[in-house]
Structure 1
Amino acid sequence: MEFFKEAGKMALGSRLRLLTEKITEDAAQVYHLYGIDMQPKWFPVFYVLSKGEGKTITAIAKEIGHSHPSVSKITTEMAKAGYLLEKKDKADGRRNVVQLSKKGKETALLIEDQYKDVEQAVNEISAQTRNDLWKAIEEWEYLLEEKSLLRRVLETKKQREGNTIRIVEYTPAYQQAFRELNEEWITTYFKMEAADYKALDHPNEYILDKGGYILVALDGDTPVGVCALIKMEDPVYEYELAKMAVSPKAQGKSVGYKLGTAIVEKARSLGAKNVYLESNTILKPAIGLYQKLGFKKVAGRATPYERCNIQMELIL
């Protein structure tokens, strides 16, 4: 069809539905051909019950991969058509089990020839194709179970949107953004402290002039994230990753990871052997980001911030 050629793989679901509808329409006529009064959608339940004793709806749903409500509806329809019986579970009287009725068992015998003929017809189709549809479906089911299509699309979206982010070095033009982005996240969870005002109001004096650096993440020309690398006067640690802040409007674009990676690379280019940081454990996404960058928790040290309850280091 021209539509599928034009839409391509975006129309995967629609094309699969169309194929399913074609097969289901033929299946209904196949049942009629063999004189069996059944609906194609009943087949999974019928097949499972034809192989053994009665089962609970929950057990059937688990075995065929359908939802409980779906199986419940199908068993109700099959019972009305005379194919199923419902009775109490011998092992647990609180549960009901369904099993094939006399009509259902007779149908299970009659349908054997249909099974053989349908399987041969499907094999003939497979022999005329270059790709084995059955194996392809198994592969797709495995891969989608491992990672859903939704998750894959979300990751692709995140990667595409993240490509618009670029990291630049701080200039005085970004001082207001540096302060506002930090104040926004700090006041969301905590309160501004004296050490915050010093660094944010006077970044040259307290960060840059002391051998530190500030990086800015831009989305287009708009600052959406900032992060500082502060030179420390400490016998153990040389630099501190600090004042990282990302605008809520830029969430999902990996801004924090890009900033963190750039700051770590800056420290490495300066010959630093380690990087230190302070945070708070209620900031779970931030802690997760630091761990992703390679930071590990260290023993507590003296800190000018009341909100700090975790300290981490990265060995370069």
Structure 2
Amino acid sequence: MPGAARPRHSFCERSFALTKHTVAVLGTGKMGEVVLAGLLRSGWPADRLLITARRPERGAELSGKYGVAVVGNVEAAARADILAIGVKPQDAGKLLDEIGPALPAGKLVVSLCAGLPTGFFAARLPEGTPVIRVMTNTPALVDQGMTAISAGPHATEEHLALAEEMFRPVGSTVRVPESQQDAVTALSGSGPAYFYLLVEAMIDAGVLLGLPRPVAHELIVQTAIGSATMLRDAGEHPVKLREAVTSPAGTTAAALRQLEIHGVRAAMSAALEAARDRAREIAAQAV
């Protein structure tokens, strides 16, 4: 069901059917490496993983680090059962034109490319190729990622389940209609940067108030971790949690008043709309 979050669980609890498949990660930038490292941490056999890299030195680096084979794009398309496309959106068309003729029917293509709709892939790959679009984020590097998954042309329930099993080791997954993926990109794909900016600003404010920077850093980071844990585990709406901290005419109320005066809510809405619109622009430029 779209919108139903699926938390991660350990590899030993999952079906071993998925590990019979060979996965190729085409384009091993930041997010491609996230997928590769997550699969290996979950217990995925290294001999069932292939990678491609535009720069030979990058391929050698990852091969030495993870013990996986580096191959060309066409060979990866021919050998793998599942292709995870992790190149930059502007490079996706050229890659698909290269691998399309070598791609046998029925292989699952999982797109990590921000902004690109599944139709972009379907138009450049053999008829009947199942395509799934995902948007994950960098906390997947510490197994706390959030991944949204959408079915594209010819993708079945089995294909969706395979994609979920690929990303569960690095966090939680949720299914959404593809029409919502640009909003997902704005909210959770780019979301970590918003939190980092807020933490940065709070640390700087702590220094302004007279705290040593290391102390301000520790205070804010742990406060962020604790607050996030309560948001996840307490089962309370954020409004309720905020109200529990806010005493009438108290220090928190005074601070929140200033945030409202300076338009924090409006700024956040405008920022997310800008991110969504940029995702749409990327898709339009790639066509």
TM-score by length of 2: 0.26
TM-score by length of 1: 0.24
Higher relative contact order (CA 8 A, sep 6+): 2
* Structure label with greater radius of gyration: 1
